[in-house]
Structure 1
Amino acid sequence: MCLLFPKSGTSQTTKLQASLFEGILLAGYTDHGAYINCTGPAVKYILKKASIMAGLLPSLKIKEDRVQAGAARNSLLTPTLGFGLTGCYKHLVVQLPAFYSAKTSTTDGKWKLGVGVGYKF
């Protein structure tokens, strides 16, 4: 086999791979509230000590509704699924997520962008 596929002297420094879970925990801000999430299924581009991922983000949004008196309120904690880009350098993580905010009695449904920081275990 070595005769057909000789090894070159250079090593591969970048690669693209699929990932189910990365061991990343993040906290951030979006749509006048906070979120806590971990990275879910993603496509990851790996550099030497850094990586960039695009994928799904299972999250727990923490947001208090601004509603008129007497109107129904949503829960303070809401599980949600977002998607976005996550960049890792060693153990530092920066994230640009997008979450969908459903239509309510006072606002239309829209995609909201956010920003977060975290740690890769």
Structure 2
Amino acid sequence: MGQEKAVKGSLFEGIVVAGYADHGGYINCTGPSIKYTFAPKSSILFGFMPSLKLREDKVDAGKPKNSLITPTLGLGLTAVFRHMAIQLPAFYNAKTSTSDGKWKLGIGMGYKF
């Protein structure tokens, strides 16, 4: 029996991803999203990604720097094929006194439990 193509909302999919974005790493899980299932055990999700960004600032001595681990919320696509996940997230870096606010793209791979 074939599975019908379907679009539905999802709160949590059990996907954990590690990847690279904005000169550092990140670890996240998929959060609320819109899920399109196109084949058995294969789907594409567009939604939010609660994340921990891992990045060490390179600053001059005596100047303040950010924490190594920063919680953030990403937005993007996650493709799932059986238990393998590939993710294209975007994270927003807020405006500071030295840089403008910008969206930073990333890429990651993960596992669906």
User: TM-score when scaled to structure 2?
Assistant: 0.93
1:26 paired with 2:17, answer yes
| Match of residue 42 from structure 2 | 50
Structure-2 change in CA distance of 1:38 and 1:81 (3 Å): same
Secondary structure (helix, strand or coil) at the match of 1:47 reads strand
| Match of residue 26 from structure 2 | 35
Say which is worse superposed, 63-72 or 81-90, in terms of deviation: 63-72
Structure 2: gaps spanning 5 or more residues: none
Q: Alpha carbon RMSD of aligned pairs, Å?
A: 1.4
Letter in 2 for 1:120: K
Structure possessing the higher radius of gyration over alpha carbons: 1
1:84 paired with 2:76, answer yes
Q: Distance in 1 between matches of 2:111 and 2:99?
A: 34
Q: Distance in 1 between matches of 2:13 and 2:52?
A: 17
How many residue pairs match? The answer is: 112
| Match of residue 90 from structure 2 | 98
More strand by share: 2
Letter in 2 for 1:59: S
Q: Distance in 2 between matches of 1:74 and 1:60?
A: 13
1:49-74: CA deviation from partner (whole Å, max 9, x where unpaired): 31000000000000011222221111
> Deviation of residue 103 (structure 1)?
2.6
User: TM-score when scaled to structure 1?
Assistant: 0.87
Structure 1: gaps spanning 5 or more residues: 1-9
> Deviation of residue 104 (structure 1)?
3.4
Q: Distance in 2 between matches of 1:110 and 1:66?
A: 19
> Deviation of residue 38 (structure 1)?
0.0
Percent of pairs identical after alignment?
62
